[in-house]
Amino acid sequence: MKLDPSQAGQHRQDLADALRTLRTATGLSGERLARRANMSQSKVSRIENGKVLPSLADVERILQALDVDRKTADQLLHLARVANTEFRDIRASVRKGLHHLQGEIRSLEAGASRVRFFLPSMITGLLQTPEYMRAAMSTPVMPMSGDVSRAMAIKLERQSVLHDPSKRFHFLLTESALRWKLCPPSVMALQADRLASLSRLPTISLGILPLTASVADGPLNGFTLYDDRLVTVETFTGDIVLRDPKDIGYYAELFDFFAGHAWHGDRARAFLAEVAGDFMQERDSL
């Protein structure tokens, strides 16, 4: 089977149909399967009807309870992994209207109590100044034309969630993300100052990975963890959305690993002041 995350909805239904067909072929009732798989009958029913997306662990338990042969089990486990993966195409978002995408992200943030951002190359929307935000949405390659102002308005509104005392936000940035000159030096200096200011909010933990740190793994891409429910992985053309607990656990472990090498608190703020000073010096030399 070819991995096509954009077809995750169809794969989800295919998985539900296959599991129901296998159970029927064995002659087991949903109740008996639930007992064998150590899960509730209602969960088995929702899985078979496509109303609940089972994790790989759920599928493994069902397949073991059905005593499925290895080849069939491997095929269904592969299908389960594909079904737990989605792809949000940025080009489709542009056609639909970027404000819709911002609304989806806002819903994810509203539904999570803990959000962890790993930012190896750019500063994320919740932390951006308006000037940096406009530049990030107006890049030369495939610029976000048409509804930039409307999307920006929603993006700026989203930032109010940072003051919600019921939530915790963990931002982990590399020095490269801070120094990448997406904007003129004066704008970059203001952006660094904003990060330092936001880092003092009780809802925010901000860490910086300096280039001088020895880190035995590479920052291949940015990602965001929403509680332990899902992770979004950024690519140039969109986001890959992963829901399988094994994938989420891996990215959580990766986040903790990078965070262990980062500067936090006053040390991070001192470094941000240094970055802002470097940009102001560059501005004055122009």
Render pLDDT for 25-39 as a digit per residue (tens, 0 to 9).
999 999 999 999 989
Contact 168, 114 (CB under 8 A): yes
CA 202 to each of CA 113, 233, 255, 261, 265: distance values in angstroms, whole numbers, following the listed order: 14, 26, 20, 22, 11
pLDDT tens digits, residue range 85-127? 788 776 655 555 555 566 677 778 888 999 999 999 999 999 9
% of the chain surpassing 70 pLDDT: 90
Distances (CA, A) of 203 to 37, 105, 116: 40, 19, 12
Tokens of 141: 């390659």
Per-residue pLDDT at 105? 78
Separation CA 48–CA 73 (nearest Å)? 16
Reported residue count of the chain is: 286
Could you tell me where the DSSP H helices lie in the chain? 8-26, 30-37, 41-48, 56-66, 70-83, 90-96, 98-110, 130-136, 148-158, 175-179, 185-198, 245-259, 265-285
User: Among 267, 251, 248, which residue's Cα sits nearest to residue 55?
Assistant: 248
Query: 187-239, pLDDT tens digit by residue?
Result: 999 999 999 999 999 999 999 999 999 999 999 999 999 999 899 999 888 88
